Amino acid sequence: MKNRKFILLFALLLSLGIILAACGSGGSDEESGDTDSGSDNETSDEEASTDFSAAMVTDIGGVDDKSFNQSSWEGLKAWGEEHGLSKGNGINYAQSDEKADYIPNLNRLIRDEYDLIFGIGFELKEDLQKVADQYPDTKFALVDDTIEADNGVSITFKEHQGSFLVGVAAAKKTNTNKLGFVGGIDSPLINKFESGFIAGAKSVNPDIEVEVDYAESFGDAAKGKIIASTMYNNDIDIIFHAAGGTGNGVFNEAKDLKQNDPEREIWVIGVDRDQHEEGQIGDHNVTLTSMIKRVDVAVQDVANQAMNGDFPGGGLLEYGLEEDAISFATTNEEAMTEDIISEVEEWQEKIASGELEVPQTREETEAFVDGL
């Protein structure tokens, strides 16, 4: 009798233990610190095809800057989807709100044992170099600048090529022969955008004026709006921005002006991604075109190389027209007419064939323009 009671008690305790374990095994996104959902398409039932993991640290523009960082994250997500990985499960990002966040964010991803860590933007150069030296067993990739480390790869782009092409489009579209360029931080990288844009516009019309201003920030939309307001008030009708989140202010100013005067011909040229959606205002769209820089292509490519054991450590990778990593957008069919597209494609062929060498610096641009 006692044995029977003991067996029943043991069965009850065992059942209770199973129920408690089941209740405690699950965890919500909020409990794990991951509140990002929806667009990141977490995979659940599908088993990962690799145990290789990759993550990225944004610059201060943020992962949803509609530009550079967002394109990088889209590339990492595409790589993750290719291999059955999702945010928090093989891929991730750490968002930086200020420069002081770079080192803590990098160290956090290192502690989480990600195999490959991307630093998005030249502002991370110094900090990424530092951690690459400290953690030789982790692989690192710097986008838009160079680092010197056997466990690091430098990823750069031929931004001047794409900027030349949108400069041609702007020159064909302008009614005032006055264009504007708004840069984030005055640096060799952003000077490539400026140089290509000026060279492209003046190749079509040497008499075109191009006003240049820098916000000295990639995350100050208010400053971008102020600069754009001044330019548009000075009879400039097209502004090309290479300013990350600061460029959102350029779009905001253009849309405000268009809303107040729907008949006014006013345009913005986007950067990095096709920023057509950013220009939508009612029945109008102020995005003429965008200089598309496929950071997503580069991120996905490097992640696959690293996963397959072909990580180009210590190397420099440069992506341009030849790699289909630089292009221009034709989404706004009403604005980008066939004659403009045809003209841009003619210049694109000259660049791709090597017939035309696009300037990358202000000095090279000055010499280029003098030779027109």
pLDDT tens digits for 23-36?
A: 433 333 333 334 34
* pLDDT value for 59: 92
Average pLDDT over residues 159-167: 98
Q: Kindly state the average pLDDT of the residues 78-101.
A: 96
pLDDT of 187 > 50? The answer is yes
| pLDDT value at residue 13 | 44
> Would you give the DSSP letter of residue 322?
G
Percent of the chain with pLDDT over 70: 87
Token couple for 200:
């492209």
What is the pLDDT, as a whole number, of residue 124? Answer: 96
Residue 268 has pLDDT above 90, yes or no: yes
- pLDDT reported for residue 50: 81
- Average pLDDT on 348-367 reads 97
- pTM given for the model: 0.81
- Say yes or no to pLDDT of 3 above 90: no
pLDDT at 1 over 50: no
Q: How confident is the model at residue 39 (pLDDT cuts 50, 70, 90)?
A: very low
Instruction: Characterize the bridge pairing of strands 209-214 and 238-242.
Output: unpaired
Measure the CA–CA gap between 254 and 250, rounded to whole angstroms.
Answer: 6
Residues linked to residue 280 through DSSP beta bridges, in sequence order: 285
- Give the confidence band of 64 by pLDDT, cuts at 50, 70, 90: confident
Mean pLDDT of the chain: 89
- pLDDT at residue 191 is higher than 90: yes
β-strands 280-281, 284-285 pairing = antiparallel
> Which pair of structure tokens corresponds to residue 50?
């690799």
pLDDT at position 66 is: 78
Average pLDDT over residues 294-317: 96
Structural domains of the chain, with CATH: 49-157+294-324 (3.40.50.2300), 159-293+337-370 (3.40.50.2300)
> Which pair of structure tokens corresponds to residue 58?
């944004």
Q: How far apart are CA 87 and CA 221, in angstroms?
A: 28
Mean of the pLDDT values across residues 122-144? 97
Q: What are phi and psi of 48, to 5 degrees?
A: -65, 145
* Cα–Cα nearest to 219, from 118, 120, 87, 76: 120
| Tokens matching residue 253 | 């100013």
Check residue 44 and give its pLDDT.
38
How, if at all, do strands 86-87 and 90-94 pair? Answer: parallel
56: nearest Cα among 99, 100, 110, 98 = 110
Q: Quote the pLDDT of residue 95.
A: 96
pLDDT at 77: 97
Question: What is residue 47's predicted lDDT score, i.e. its pLDDT?
Answer: 61
